[in-house]
Amino acid sequence: MIDQQTGNIMRLFAGLFRSYCRNRRRSTPSAAAGIVDTLETRVLLAAVNLADEEQLILELINRARANPEAEATRLGISLNASLPAGTISATPKQPLAPNQQLQNASVAHSTDMINRDFFAHTNPSGVTPGGRATAAGYDWWTIAENIAYIGYFGNVDINANSRQAHDLLFRSAGHRTNILMSEAEEIGVGIRSGAFIPSGGNATLVTEKFGRRDLNPIITGVVYADTNNSDFYDIGEAVRGGTITARRVSDGATFTETIGTSGGYGLIVPAGSYVVTAAFTRNGIPVSMSSSVTVSVDNVKVDFDATAAVTVNLTLSSPTVAMTETGTAATMQFTVTRAGSLTGALTVNLNSNDTSELSVPASVLMPDGQSSVNFTVTAVDDGIIDGTQTALVQASAVGAVAVNRSITVADTTAPTFTVLDIVTTTLRPTFSWIGISNAASYEILVVQITTASAVFHRQAGITSTSYTMPIDLPLGTFYIRLRAITSARLLSPWGPIQMIRSRPLTTVEGSGRTETSGTFTIRWAAIPGATSYDIVVDRLTSQTRGFLRNGAVPTNSLVVSDFPIGQYHVRVRVLAPGMASGWSITALLTVSIQPTGVRVNAAGFGSVATLNCDAVNGAVRYDVQVDNETTGVSQVIRNVNVVGTSLAMPTLTPGSYTAVVRAIDSANRTHSASAPTAFVLNSSTPLTYAATTLAGRPLFSWITVAGAVRYELVFANASLVPQITLSNLTGNQYQPAVPLAAGVWRAWIRAFDGSGNATVVSNTVAFTLV
């Protein structure tokens, strides 16, 4: 046959092969029974891949099956031409879905006919249409096949040839019967062109393989862009790639398949109501289109024309384009706005091109009728020193061109002190901080704010995470700043300020010492920055707090006086305008004063001797001890409860004695003993001689005699003849004012009381002067 318009040679051959070995029929589910298929796992099925011309023939076939009478009218024939009346009904037939196994078998047969130059349903090897379907893995109940070829000269016009092949097959009664076979559910279309001997030149060979299996119904169709406004699929209009998803309304179960290379798809689903969505990208814009269908027993066709997709324009805004890793500027509210259709809710997908700098929600929903929605962007505190970075916040949505906004993120990663506000009592404190992983060293800055000094101390190149001041930190308040430096010399910001309140403690010197006088000096360590000191002395002996308090000592020492005997606690703190250190460690001081002025008196040599001494500040009683030097007996008197400064000693017998006095304070603590005081009672006093450097002027000494009012010292010659008599000496020493003459001398002494009574003459002292 020769086509009258193109002059192409055309030939077709129909063969119908049906097997009723498997007579199971898919039953119509009963609505009354309320049967619902179980939820199926969502799986992304592989696409069935057809060439555009093969998809075109599939679309032509499905158009014919949707309205058989209209297709026959279009081609100028009756529906049952060359067939018994009623063979084909005008009732719409279910659409056919592409099947990869049938597709593979169809392509293989067209290729085989081209390669081996034959035109038949059974190939030279004896393989039939049913055999080919089985070999391709198709488990069929019904199988049918149409084949045709269109001969041509020159270059192939695949669009024209494909359409001619369909028209030719539909005009043929047997092929028309296969095309409109109500049992058919799936199809494969194989088209190959090339040199073909039976045509006498070139030919386009078409194989159509119709099949049926025991399956659920199929949602099928094509996704294309009707760029020529033909309201029909044409070669080159396929949307290639994307997904088709059917979501069951009753339970949300989803069934998904990839859109094929020719735009076709087929989803096998249980009966039910579905929302079918095609998601794909066109001209760089994500597109989503949906349609609702109800599936019962037969296949349902849902096509999507990409040119009908509603597109919107997105804009992305924020108050500023600068953020920081931390602080109030670490979060910012962004607004995404759509222009165009506001119909339907819009899911805006969000993204950060650098998630180490900016974090955004995965998506935000813009409700139906709303033109904008806000979301929060958060800067990421990455914990490393990397300087100011730039990141993009991106917004995209189905039907919209993706937009972005460039944001700078200032690096705030800085070393942080472990404690930000401390009081130090040491002059050279140690500062510690939390390190940064990529820091090579640190720089510390110490600023004294008390005196408004610019910089008190600065040190760079610190390689550890602690630093001890190499110089004394004076009393005052300081800001300590710290920053890190990388090996590439990238500086971190200065970290949070550490406030240091330097309140170094002083130390009282000589803690534990004993002072032998009530007047002495208290000293303590000088502290840098001090303007004065505050000293408190508590008298432990009398439990007197604040026995002495001086809050304005200008130097690091204080002279105190009139301190009674006893023990004291001393504390000192350092002062400066508006600040004070803590108190020093308490120092213990003891004031232990020796009694002075110890003397023994009597009314006369026959009277009772009385011991007297000067009062000791703070003494509540005294301890008096008298030893008999004549007999060698110690403590002939020991009285530890002498109240007052005198003690009568009636029990003493004539002789030579030594007396010692100790003061006792109110805490019953005995203090230092007085210097020993010698005295004589009712007896001669021993005379001693001591040469001096003064020629002729020796020093004579004797022990005080109790009751004596004067002493008589006699100087005699070697024959004991008195030469000089001194009768009114007082005290217990004598040194001649005029040198004695050279020669041999003798001397003795005796005491007289107020009644003129004299003691026995003392020992005679012999001496020679030259």
Topology adopted by domain 599-681? Immunoglobulin-like (2.60.40)
| Cα 275 to Cα 290: distance, rounded to the nearest angstrom | 7
Task: Provide the residue count of the chain.
Answer: 770
Q: Which CATH number fits domain 687-769: 1.10.260.40, 2.60.40.10, 1.10.4190.10, 3.20.20.140?
A: 2.60.40.10
Of residues 39 and 249, more confidently modeled: 249
Selected residue with higher pLDDT from 421 and 737: 737
Tell whether the model's pLDDT for residue 31 goes beyond 50.
Answer: no
Residue 268 burial class via C-beta count within 10 angstroms: exposed 0-12, middle 13-18, buried 19 and up: buried
pLDDT band at 45 (very low <50, low <70, confident <90, very high): low
**pLDDT tens track for 531-557:** 999 999 999 999 999 999 999 999 999
| 419: pLDDT strictly greater than 90 | no
Q: What DSSP line would sit under 707-747, residue for residue?
A: TEEEEEEEEE-TT--EEEEEEEE-SSEE--SSPPPSEEEEE
Tokens of 354: 């650098």
Q: Domain segments of the chain: what residues?
A: 10-28+36-301, 312-410, 416-502, 514-591, 599-681, 687-769
For the stretch 404-414, pLDDT in tens is 999 999 999 99
Count of helices and strands (H, E) across the chain: 6, 55
Higher pLDDT, residue 423 or 516: 516
Using pLDDT thresholds of 50, 70 and 90, give the confidence band for residue 338: very high
Q: Could you tell me which CATH number the domain at 416-502 has?
A: 2.60.40.10
Given this structure, which CATH class describes domain 312-410?
mainly beta
pLDDT above 70 coverage of the chain, percent: 94
- In this predicted structure, what is the pLDDT of residue 567? 98
pLDDT at 421: 78
SS3 38: coil
When pLDDT is averaged across residues 674-680 and rounded to a whole number, the result is 96
Rg, C-alpha atoms of the chain: 63
Q: Which residue would you say has higher pLDDT here, 245 or 454?
A: 245
User: What value does the mean pLDDT take over residues 106-122?
Assistant: 97
Does residue 2 have a pLDDT over 50? Answer: no
CB 478 within 8 A of CB 500: yes
Mean pLDDT across the chain: 91
pLDDT of residue 375: 96
Q: Do domains 10-28+36-301 and 514-591 have the same CATH topology?
A: no
Asked if the model's pLDDT at residue 207 lies above 60, the reply is: yes
**pLDDT greater than 70 at residue 17:** no
**pLDDT tens digits, 465-511:** 999 999 999 998 999 999 999 999 999 999 999 889 889 999 999 99
Question: Does the pLDDT at position 33 exceed 50?
Answer: no
HSE at residue 282, side-chain half, CA atoms within 13 A, is 26
Of the candidates 417, 418, 406, 409, the one whose C-alpha atom is nearest the C-alpha of residue 446 is 417
Q: What is the pLDDT of residue 401?
A: 80
Q: Is the pLDDT assigned to residue 690 strictly greater than 50? A: yes
Using the predicted structure, report yes or no on whether residue 40 has a pLDDT greater than 70: no
**Domain 514-591 CATH assignment equals 3.30.420.40:** no
Q: Which two tokens stand for residue 529?
A: 């920055």
Of the chain, the percentage scoring pLDDT greater than 90 comes to 82
CA pair distance 658, 676, nearest whole angstrom? 6
The CATH architecture of the domain made up of 10-28+36-301 is 3-Layer(aba) Sandwich (3.40)
Q: Is the pLDDT of residue 21 over 60?
A: no
Question: Cα–Cα distances in Å, from 679 out to 284, 595, 602, 654, 752?
Answer: 127, 17, 11, 11, 15
- pLDDT in the model for residue 16: 33
Q: Please report the pLDDT score of residue 35 as a whole number.
A: 22
